[in-house]
Amino acid sequence: MFFSRKGKLKKEFDEKLVDLIKETKDDWHNAKVFEDLSDDFSLDIVAQRKVTESVHFYLFKEARIRQVIIK
């Protein structure tokens, strides 16, 4: 009775996780491109790329733990 929504909630949050993974992948790609296009070496740009990369891989690891299928 109380647990009948469990599957629906898991599916909903798995979809949100997949959307976040795709969004952070785009952000990570944009940060890499921005770092490559910049003329001078800036630690801020490198730090921003590493932050977006670590967020992306954290979400990817969470998806593996939850056994989410990304299409």
Domain ranges of the chain: 6-66
pLDDT of residue 10: 85
The half-sphere exposure of 70 on its side-chain side, counting CA atoms within 13 A, is 17
- Give the pLDDT score at 31: 94
Is there a contact between 23 and 56 (Cβ–Cβ < 8 Å)?
no
Asked if 28 contacts 52 with a C-beta cutoff of 8 angstroms, the reply is: yes
Contact 21, 70 (CB under 8 A): yes
Q: Give the angle subtended at the CA of 28 by the CAs of 12 and 21, to the nearest 5°.
A: 10
pLDDT in tens, 5-61: 777 888 889 999 999 999 999 999 999 999 999 888 889 999 999 999 999 999 999
Determine the residue type at 30: N
